[in-house]
């Protein structure tokens, strides 16, 4: 069992920035590939980004590529999502999650999830 807690969400104007954090419990954080997902009202949960166990490899959804940066600090058991140039369409609840499968953007392959943090981008 891994407990994940997201933080850092809030209200920001379009064009602004936020940094989300995901704090993980336990001593096996570095064993997991980590991902960020988001879910807007009335829409399905969608993949945002993932990062390899050692943090050296990343992959992004086309919708956020060039604007968002995923990173991790295994010494602190923490995952981050730096979000720049935010757009109203980025408004969603953002979730961090764990997997052991690299080649996937499917939520079904992630099995530990945080509670989510709300990001609202005003126009």
Tell me, rounded to whole angstroms, the distance of Cα 115 from its chain centroid.
12
pLDDT at 92: 98
pLDDT at 27: 83
- Residue 102 contacts residue 33 (beta carbons within 8 Å): yes
Residue bearing tokens 């981008």: 121
pLDDT at 30: 94
pLDDT at 104: 84
Q: Which residues of the chain have pLDDT under 70?
A: none
């Amino acid at each position: 069992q891994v407990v994940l807690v997201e933080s850092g969400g809030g209200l920001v104007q379009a064009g602004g920035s936020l940094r989300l954090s995901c704090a993980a419990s336990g001593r096996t954080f570095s064993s997991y590939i980590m991902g960020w997902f988001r879910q807007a009202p009335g829409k399905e949960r969608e993949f945002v980004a993932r990062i390899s166990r050692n943090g050296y490899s990343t992959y992004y959804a086309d919708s956020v590529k060039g604007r968002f940066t995923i990173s991790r600090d295994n010494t602190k058991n923490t995952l981050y999502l730096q979000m720049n140039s935010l757009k109203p369409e980025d408004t969603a609840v953002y979730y961090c999650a764990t997997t052991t499968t690299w080649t996937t953007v499917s939520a079904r392959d992630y099995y530990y999830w945080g509670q989510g943090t709300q990001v609202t981008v005003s126009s």
